[in-house]
Amino acid sequence: MELSADVVLALAAAGEGRRVEFKRGLPRDEKTARTLAAFANTRGGMLLVGIGDRGEVLGAPHPRRTLEKLLEIAARGLEPALAVEVAIVTVGARRIVCCSVPLSALRPHAVLHGDDDAEIVVRSGSSNRAADGATLKALREQRGAKKRVDALEQRVLEWVDARSRNGAAAQTDATISGFADFANIGKQRARRAFVELERSGLIVGHGIGARRVYSRA
């Protein structure tokens, strides 16, 4: 994942929301796991460590250790394990740890607790909450559903394949606006196709906003 200081500053200025969360430092493992799972189960998102509640650029304590801890929590603190993209971005003299969480094709992801219990969480506004009732049922149904791809969506898949190398987020420049230009269609129509394919687990989005790039799941 490649992020510039300008992108991090723009995210900090926009504030927390459904797809962005700030942390001064990495909280305890279970709380971090809840954020990762909530993003993965809902719409994807970005966790920025080293940013204050009001968007202050503070710098992450022990950036390399924080990055490694995020990877460990995603791999061992969730069931099933979650693949995330992480990077350290220098903003001024301060280092911010960025963790991009995709909308996961393997959702729902559950947070593993020490008492052998597991909790499925979703993102609601700028907070995380336990999924239950209709929300939980819908998540489980999505996991088993098979997507019928229409002609435009098939073009998206082929184009994303062509723009990606090895399926890695850092090696793709496939964006919604790029496909709209390529296919000579409106951005709204292109966005609908990308969103549907991402929800169905056929492509994975990395990053936030206009700079969000996509690779095959």
Per-residue confidence (pLDDT) for residue 206, from 0 to 100: 78
Q: Domain containing 40 — which CATH number? A: 3.30.950.30
Separation between Cα atoms, residue 17 and residue 125, nearest integer Å: 6
Over the stretch 15-31, which tens digit does the pLDDT of each residue have? 999 999 999 999 999 99
- Which residue segment(s) compose the domain that 54 sits in? 5-144
59 and 137 inside one domain: yes
Over the stretch 101-113, which tens digit does the pLDDT of each residue have? 988 888 889 998 8
Q: Domain containing 164 — which CATH number? A: 1.10.10.10
Per-residue confidence (pLDDT) for residue 83, from 0 to 100: 92
Does pLDDT of 168 surpass 70?
no
Q: Phi/psi of residue 35, each to 5°?
A: -65, -45
Domain boundary pick from 119, 144, 169: 144
Q: What is the 3-state secondary structure (H, E, C) of the chain?
A: CCCCHHHHHHHHHHCCECCEEEECCCCCHHHHHHHHHHHHHHCCEEEEECECCCCCECCCCCHHHHHHHHHHHHHHCEECCCCCEEEEEEECCEEEEEEEECCCCCCCCEEECCCCCEEEEEEECCEEEECCHHHHHHHHHHHHCCCCCCHHHHHHHHHHHHHECCCCHHHECCCHHHHHHHHCCCHHHHHHHHHHHHHCCCEEEECCHHHCEEEEC
Q: What is the pTM of this model?
A: 0.76
80 and 99 inside one domain: yes
Count of domains in the chain?
2
49 and 65 inside one domain: yes
Over the stretch 46-79, which tens digit does the pLDDT of each residue have? 999 999 999 999 999 999 999 999 999 999 999 9
136 and 202 inside one domain: no
